Amino acid sequence: MTGAKLDTQRFEVLPRDLSAYRQGNVGVDYVHRFESGKPGPHVLINALTHGNEFCGMVAVADLLERGVRPLTGTLTLSFANVAAYETFDTARPFDSRLLVHNFNRIWSSDWLDGASDSPELRRARAMRPIVDQADHVLDIHSTSQDVEPFWVYPGFARNADIALSVGLPSIHLVMPNGLGGAGPPLIQYGRFGTVTGPGDAQVVECGQHFFQATADCAVSVTRGFLAHFGLATPDPHTRPKQPQRRFELQHTHVIQTTDFAFTKPCKGFEVFAKDELIATDGSVQVRAPCDNCTVLMPAREAIVGREGVYLAKPTD
């Protein structure tokens, strides 16, 4: 058994035709940039890092459809892995996460400048200058399980300040030593993964892939993110800030065998005592490295080479 059983029949949000947005204005398909003509930061809102995570698509499409323009600085909007998105099938709702490579594990010079090829690598190489030009990046994601939304970001004060200011979500997964696992994510790319910066990038995990509440969360967080940097006015309907909960990533386990299995069903935020057995992976035992060890993003199925589970400790 891997993660908890999923309710895969609830498809409250499904793909829409994005062909109207293919022709961008910066020479890269599905990337649109808007200049305010006033000094200010350059903010990138990125959707569809994974092809079956529709909430970001909804949030970016919302901005495009409403004709939102930045009050100051520059706003760039992108749909990343559209090729995978276009393969979505409700009979196999998790297959369109990617085509060949995980778009969110190839953000290093080794991958981007290497000899390997795939639709994801070609897309990342095309988008690389777009990311390079941004000061602040919001990378919008969702989860396979129905869990509370949460931030994910490097353990730098500048990232925490932004997440705390936006206020929603109220849960923070902080990576003091990076994500670990199968490869570097977008939010650790280049200067975004260094202590001194400048610039910052963070993920928001908005809830279960196919739920309307997840899309609503993505829209709210995106509006709050833009308001934080002065590119938009604050949304008067934003929920009051909730008490914040912070977790520090302690260990990322990458699946080594098809026998990977949890000792009990896990969907996320289950708590284990120090040294308690969480999962087995062939002969490898995955045990809690700390008291109150909290499971995040447990794998839905055992796929060798992908992350099986993130283990974190609460700090607040």
Please give the pLDDT value at position 242. 80
Interatomic CA distance for residues 276 and 26, integer angstroms? 52
At residue 292 the predicted structure's pLDDT band, cuts being 50, 70 and 90, is very high
Q: How many CB atoms lie within 10 A of CB 116?
A: 12
pTM score of the predicted model: 0.95
The domains spanning 19-228 and 248-314 adopt the same CATH topology: no
What gap in Å lies between CA 144 and CA 219, rounded to an integer? 19
Say whether domain 248-314 belongs to CATH 2.40.50.630.
yes
What is the per-residue pLDDT for 98? Answer: 98
Number of H helices, E strands in the chain: 6, 14
SS3 286: strand
The 10s digit of each residue's pLDDT in 18-69 is 999 999 999 999 999 999 999 999 999 999 999 999 999 999 999 999 999 9
Describe the strand order of the beta sheet including 31-35 as a list of residue ranges.
31-35, 74-79, 42-47, 136-143, 200-208, 150-154, 171-175, 245-254, 307-314, 293-296, 271-272
Q: Output the pLDDT for position 239.
A: 62
Q: What percent of the chain has pLDDT above 90?
A: 91
Distance, in Å, from the CA atom of 298 to the CA atom of 269, rounded to the nearest integer, reads 9
CATH superfamily of 19-228: Zn peptidases (3.40.630.10)
CA atoms within 13 A on the CB side of 132: 9
Position 59 scores a pLDDT of 98
Question: Residue 44 has what pLDDT?
Answer: 98
Above 90 in pLDDT, residue 3? no
Tokens matching residue 205: 């995990």
Asked if pLDDT for residue 6 goes beyond 60, the answer is no
Where exactly are the structural domains of the chain?
Answer: 19-228, 248-314
Residues 6+ apart with CB under 8 A from 37: none
Are the beta carbons of 51 and 85 closer than 8 angstroms? Answer: yes
Average pLDDT rounded to a whole number, residues 121-131 = 98
User: What mean pLDDT do residues 14-20 have?
Assistant: 97
**pLDDT for 293-311, tens place per residue?**
999 999 999 999 999 999 9
pLDDT in tens, 228-268: 999 999 977 666 678 899 999 999 999 999 999 999 999 99
Whether the pLDDT of residue 218 is over 70: the answer is yes
